[in-house]
């Protein structure tokens, strides 16, 4: 087996295990990553007490803000991780690595963020009508998958 095939097999195994919500230390093959440091956690998370979310929970919760709409029905929507002024950090090997945006359960956007100097923030123009439900899913590579919804 050559080196490229070995990397492919490692990547496939990591994806399969991470989908199951298992913490996986990387084998450290990336030049950008120190050996054994990268963890991908794909466990779905929720608030222990929805009435009293902790700072840790708020730090991972997507904050959804609807802004202006244009004449064609597209609404500018701002997504920030986290909520209520608590910002999710971006540190080496700990960052918001993706956002997914759903409108009425239909995936409309999937954005990945590299491990580097970028925070969990994005703006989109989404075609929305009154009553549409937007769900945002944010992945923290260390602390799992967090969601929030907002009705337009």
* Interface residues toward Fe ion, by CB under 5 A: 140, 142-143
Give 14 or 93: the residue with its C-beta nearer to Fe ion. Answer: 93
When CB distances to Fe ion are compared, the closest residue is 140
Give 41 or 103: the residue with its C-beta nearer to Fe ion. Answer: 41
| Cβ contact 12:111 at 8 Å | no
28 φ/ψ angles, rounded to the nearest 5 degrees: 75, 35
CA dist., res. 111 & res. 124, Å (int): 11
Q: How far is the CB of 83 from Fe ion (least distance, A)?
A: 13
What's the gap between Cα 104 and its chain centre?
Answer: 19
Give 134 or 140: the residue with its C-beta nearer to Fe ion. Answer: 140
CA dist., res. 8 & res. 2, Å (int): 10
The helix/strand count (H/E) of the chain reads as 2, 7
Q: How far is the CB of 45 from Fe ion (least distance, A)?
A: 10
Give 87 or 142: the residue with its C-beta nearer to Fe ion. Answer: 142
Q: How far is the CB of 28 from Fe ion (least distance, A)?
A: 21
Q: How far is the CB of 32 from Fe ion (least distance, A)?
A: 19
Q: How far is the CB of 8 from Fe ion (least distance, A)?
A: 28
Give 103 or 141: the residue with its C-beta nearer to Fe ion. Answer: 141
Strand ranges for 54-131 from DSSP E: 62-69, 74-81, 96-103, 106-112, 121-127
Alpha carbon dihedral 121, 126, 132, 137, in 10-degree steps, equals -30
């Amino acid at each position: 087996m050559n080196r490229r095939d070995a990397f492919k097999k490692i990547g496939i195994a990591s994806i399969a295990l991470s989908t199951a919500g298992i913490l996986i230390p990387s084998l450290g093959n990336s030049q950008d990553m120190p050996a054994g440091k990268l963890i991908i956690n794909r466990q779905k998370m929720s608030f222990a007490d929805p009435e009293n979310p902790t700072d840790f929970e708020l730090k991972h919760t997507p904050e959804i803000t609807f802004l202006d709409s244009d004449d064609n029905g597209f609404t500018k929507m701002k997504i920030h991780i986290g909520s209520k002024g608590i910002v999710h950090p971006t540190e080496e090997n700990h960052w918001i690595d993706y956002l997914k945006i759903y409108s009425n359960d239909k995936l409309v956007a999937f954005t990945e963020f590299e491990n580097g100097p970028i925070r969990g923030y994005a703006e989109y123009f989404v075609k929305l009508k009154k009553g549409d439900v937007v769900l945002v899913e944010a992945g923290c590579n260390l602390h799992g998958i967090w969601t929030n919804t907002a009705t337009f």
